[in-house]
Chains A and B, each alone.
Chain A
């Protein structure tokens, strides 16, 4: 098949463009460390027996130097912790969230950020993030979960490291 050389040029440009698109996403993934909530460490949990798991005491645990884990339960129509009392986290720390639901499908989105996960009953949604600046981040449910879905919201309050102490942690040594 004969192809005109100009056509070869723009076929080449198209392939280059696709390579650039893929390359940029790979760069974000590998160098900027931008991830999506995945199923690399998929974990299931029985929604009926959450009280026998770590989710019995939702909240923040310190697991290392500047490393924390948050166990959160999203249920109709609140986030525990987060709704009512804000979830307080330290600035700059690596925080791993474990979120699950005992009832129906929920979503967890930190408004204005890239943190966005779906919370499925029976599964533990996990993601790690870091809040580089103190401030308040609104949490909303973005999956319709019932008649009061629109009221399901919470707050994450990020405080400077010096203001964060053990009062914001749950005692998991049961």
Chain B
């Protein structure tokens, strides 16, 4: 996974700030990053899974009458 070209350079020991790359406007800590959109999408996905599972179980499976009851 490491892209380091030279085996001598340790990427963790580098003092060079990563922030000097282009396009980065602001450096924030992990806790300040709030991906609410991702949370909403993940929540909807969980909800969809739950609804589909309930439909699958109660309609497609339990609803097919003549079941094994013992």
Give the residue of B35, B58, B62, B70 whose beta carbon is less than 8 angstroms from that of A127: B70
Q: Is the CB of B69 within 8 A of A10?
A: no
A112 within 8 A of B: yes
Q: Is the CB of A2 within 8 A of B30?
A: yes
Nearest residue in A to B33 (C-beta to C-beta)? Answer: A4
B interface secondary structure, majority? helix
A interface secondary structure, majority? mixed
Size category of the B interface is 20 to 34
Number of interface residues of A (CB under 8 A): 37
Nearest residue in A to B31 (C-beta to C-beta)? Answer: A4
Q: Is the CB of B69 within 8 A of A131?
A: no
Taken together as a complex, chains A and B put the C-alpha atoms of A36 and B68 apart, in Å, by 6
Chain B 36-70 interface 0/1 with A at a Cβ cutoff of 8 Å (1 = within)? 00110011001001100110011001101111111
Q: How far is the CB of A91 from chain B (nearest CB, A)?
A: 11
Taken together as a complex, chains A and B put the C-alpha atoms of A63 and B39 apart, in Å, by 58
Known A-B contacts A13-B42, A17-B46; the reply to A137 vs B66 at CB < 8 A is yes
Q: Is the CB of B53 within 8 A of A21?
A: yes
Residues of B at the A interface (CB closer than 8 Å) are 30-31, 33-35, 38-39, 42-43, 46, 49-50, 53-54, 57-58, 61-62, 64-70
